[in-house]
Amino acid sequence: MIAKRIKQLAPSGIREFFDLVLGMPEVISLGVGEPDFVTPWRIREKAITAIEEGFTSYTSNSGLFGLRKGVSNLLKKKYAVDYCPDKEILITVGVSQGLDLALRAILNPGDKVVVVSPYYVAYPALVEISSGEVIYLTTREEDGFKINLEDLKEVVKLKPKAIILNYPGNPTGVSYSALELKNIWNILSKEDIVVISDETYDELTYNDKHTCFSSLDKKAKARTILLNGFSKGYAMTGFRVGFACGDKEIIDAMTKINSFAMLCGPIISQIAASEALLARKEVSLMRAEYRRRRGFVVKELNRVGLVTVMPEGAFYCFSSLKKFKINALDFANKLLMEKKVAVVPGKAFGKGLDSFIRISYANSLENLKESVIRIEDLLNNL
């Protein structure tokens, strides 16, 4: 009964592992990709009030105009990039739906899409679900997992329809400076290629300021589908709100699919997201706390022998086990079974990553301290 391309989809490399974790409530999980903070109160309060006031209807297929206007204003203020709230912004059900709509809107069967490895697990699967073909652009540890420009030149020779960029990135925390992005765009701009820029962690950037891909120049804006949302920076994963910005033609096509497939995101969540746009203080407090934890975890992981570069954003460390002659899956299993700490083995994020683990520091400093003690204990007894 099942479509061939769905049957052929590789199962998530870590599902079994995390099914196991779910059945073990005593485990400290450094595996999850979501904030440990509860959504700031003023946002929750706004959602409660919206329910009390009877906001229970559909919204327009594009999303509430007020939210689109708010998103437009924020992007203008932060990145000096100008998106028309009427024509160039679509409210989505998280970045996840934005990705799905973007790929469905632009791909014909067999079209190639470049996915940069290590990658967020959904990218290859969503390309395949949309009948596209994935081309991997593998980054190297010695390049700090950043895109190598010569490799990029090679991959664009294969005439891909699109490339998915993600910075700050999951799972590596890697980000790019304005100059690095300009160098990437310099290569891409010569091709007929759509850039899907997943900037969902833009609020969680700790060093340089985040540069929005579509702010690079006019042509970059026209060829970019900018995806972002409220899950990470605003601690609103369960609200399921995101947004897609792009050229009118692309946003129209995505909205057309949305008008049949989803209709709209939940109105309560959209109202809450409008309030979130005003919660700048709350966002910066959470960012400061992640930065504090990042400093602690990176220092401690390196001290115990897990080589970890300082991530520039998001809330993940991508740590190397190469010193220890144990592969990441065995290490993660041992750590879970013997020490009750969950981390994600690298193979979930691409080929050739068997000696890396992803550690999320979206957890309390207390839990992080305890986890380091247990990790060190395991490493000392390997």
Query: Interface with ligand PLP by CB under 6 A: which residues?
Result: 33, 94-96, 120, 166, 170, 198, 200, 229, 231, 237, 242
| CB of residue 89 to ligand PLP, shortest distance in Å | 15
- Considering the complex, state which of residue 215 and residue 231 has its C-beta at the smaller distance from ligand PLP: 231
- The C-alpha angle with vertex 377 and arms to 373 and 382, in degrees rounded to 5, equals 150
Query: CA 244, CA 226: separation in Å to the nearest integer?
Result: 6
| CB of residue 315 to ligand PLP, shortest distance in Å | 10
| CB of residue 33 to ligand PLP, shortest distance in Å | 4
Q: Which two tokens stand for residue 290?
A: 């992640």
**Closest chain position to ligand PLP (CB):** 94
**Beta-bridge partner residues of 226:** 197, 245
| CB of residue 70 to ligand PLP, shortest distance in Å | 17
Q: Which two tokens stand for residue 184?
A: 């990437």
Contact of 161 with 194, CB cutoff 8 Å: yes
Residue where the block lists tokens 């390196």: 302
- Considering the complex, state which of residue 152 and residue 273 has its C-beta at the smaller distance from ligand PLP: 273
Tell me the torsion sign for CA atoms 203, 350, 348, 115. Answer: positive
| CB of residue 254 to ligand PLP, shortest distance in Å | 15
Q: Which two tokens stand for residue 32?
A: 């999850």
The type of residue at 294 is: R
- Considering the complex, state which of residue 96 and residue 327 has its C-beta at the smaller distance from ligand PLP: 96
- Considering the complex, state which of residue 300 and residue 312 has its C-beta at the smaller distance from ligand PLP: 312
**Listing from the earlier edge strand, what are the strands of the sheet with 194-198?**
89-92, 242-245, 224-229, 194-198, 162-166, 112-117, 133-138
- Considering the complex, state which of residue 102 and residue 372 has its C-beta at the smaller distance from ligand PLP: 102
| CB of residue 120 to ligand PLP, shortest distance in Å | 4
- Considering the complex, state which of residue 39 and residue 372 has its C-beta at the smaller distance from ligand PLP: 39
DSSP E strand boundaries for the chain: 28-29, 89-92, 112-117, 133-138, 162-166, 194-198, 224-229, 242-245, 307-308, 316-320, 341-342, 344-345, 356-360
- Considering the complex, state which of residue 11 and residue 110 has its C-beta at the smaller distance from ligand PLP: 11
236 CB contacts (<8 Å, ≥6 apart)?
A: 39, 43, 230, 269, 272, 273, 276
Q: Which two tokens stand for residue 258?
A: 């949305």
- Considering the complex, state which of residue 40 and residue 94 has its C-beta at the smaller distance from ligand PLP: 94
- Considering the complex, state which of residue 64 and residue 95 has its C-beta at the smaller distance from ligand PLP: 95
Total H helices, total E strands in the chain: 14, 13
| CB of residue 92 to ligand PLP, shortest distance in Å | 8
What is the DSSP annotation of 350-369? -TT-TTEEEEE--S-HHHHH
Contact of 345 with 330, CB cutoff 8 Å: no
User: What's 198's DSSP letter?
Assistant: E
- Considering the complex, state which of residue 343 and residue 372 has its C-beta at the smaller distance from ligand PLP: 343
**Listing from the earlier edge strand, what are the strands of the sheet with 344-345?**
307-308, 316-320, 356-360, 344-345
| CB of residue 358 to ligand PLP, shortest distance in Å | 11
Query: CA 30, CA 28: separation in Å to the nearest integer?
Result: 6
